[in-house]
Structure 1
């Protein structure tokens, strides 16, 4: 959990975060190029680390609280924090790829969930709606609003459609530390929580399930999966709170290029 006070960023610091975010977007694109049936998540992890280090940066997650990999690779019912393995991806799987980059002393953090081959329509819809809920949350990341406005926007978009909103894991401030104040839940009340001000940098990350919202942690101490074993999706951007419209620092453009 994030500790301490909210860190407001200067424009110079935001420029540095923008560079980290650009490299992160490119790293996601490199991973996206490899994602297909038969590839192992260990291969994806290796490629991400190699690309990030080749560009003078460090994978934010590797070694963070002793996490052993550069990517969190979470298939199917794994919500987040999944480990890289030698098990090949199969047709019909989904895979959430969460990555962080530390460059020039600042972190950027983002995640994207991929369908592998042909996935059931209901699962495809889950991915689409989870990604849409991310942008609903980002729309509320403007000065004068409160964190609860982001939380409410996400929950209010997905819950009426019958999806579960994970409670135990939340978005967060991001900057010189990977996890800073404030926590940014994906559920909550409008007008509640810390006030949003210009220069706050947030990782907004809906984690949404096809079934119930309850999750459990596996024995490895990291992997979080849905208790009912139904699929979960995860999309995340790093954003800057601005006056009229949030600025999205990370990007899915390289992922989208690789997929088309």
Structure 2
């Protein structure tokens, strides 16, 4: 049986974090800087009674990762001011009453909705979550993401993964965006497991480079990248999204 106390806390913290994510996405407007978004996130997390999860990662000093255009993950918030047409991923985590939750979404500055690239990322995450049921394997989740993204003509990240989450921000099992082995050889999903499912993908090739800051990862061909992420609990009544707004 899963741990009901853990799930109750993560559900409460995740709901608060989902609201913070949506607030930050509303603030993704022309003229605001990445560091201003990060400062807003830190204030909202503190007000919610939590602490920034990402600051528990050794050497990382920010509350969010703000990834712009060809940046795919771990974008350090800086003074760059957003411009109309920029593709912006807001990735944020919160430690709340001893448990972490993690979520992310991508938006286009000045374009509220209706973009095919973003719609595919949302669909990939939705289909992946639908596979997060007791008795399935991590591979079912990975394959669902890969099929949606590649069928649309895009590519999945090959060396970035989702992860188990709970008392620690990053735990086993890893949750890749693609399947490269037999599904039955990937970890089995059990009641009470909590995982961060991340649909990480790009318009171009999957090869990545790391900036000199040691954190910021970009597509080598400078193609645009996106990510949609929820923290999800595996339960006897199906997958439960903990980071819904």
Given that 2:25 and 2:90 are in contact with CA atoms closer than 8 Å, whether structure 1 keeps it comes out as no
CA–CA separation in structure 1 for the residues paired with 2:185 and 2:208: 25
Q: Please point out which of 107, 113, 118 is paired with 1:127.
A: 118
CA–CA separation in structure 1 for the residues paired with 2:146 and 2:160: 14
Deviations 1:150-193 (A, max 9, x none): 00111011112211110111000000000111000010053330
Are positions 1:202 and 2:199 aligned together?
A: no
CA–CA separation in structure 1 for the residues paired with 2:3 and 2:238: 17
Matches within 5 A, 1:144-159: 144-159=135-150
**Offset at 1:243?**
3.2
CA–CA separation in structure 1 for the residues paired with 2:46 and 2:177: 32
What RMSD, in angstroms, separates the aligned Cα atoms of the two structures?
Answer: 1.7
Given that 1:209 and 1:231 are in contact with CA atoms closer than 8 Å, whether structure 2 keeps it comes out as yes
Q: Please point out which of 24, 28, 39 is paired with 1:46.
A: 39
Aligned residues: 243
| TM-score with structure 1 setting the length | 0.89
Are positions 1:228 and 2:221 aligned together?
A: yes
**Offset at 1:64?**
1.2
CA–CA separation in structure 1 for the residues paired with 2:177 and 2:111: 28
Q: Please point out which of 123, 130, 138 is paired with 1:139.
A: 130
Which has the larger strand fraction? 2
Unaligned runs of 5+ in 1: 1-7, 254-260
Unaligned runs of 5+ in 2: none
Specify the alignment match of 1:169 in structure 2: 160
CA–CA separation in structure 2 for the residues paired with 1:242 and 1:192: 21
Cα–Cα, structure 1 residues 36 and 129, in superposed 2: closer, same or farther, change >3 Å? same
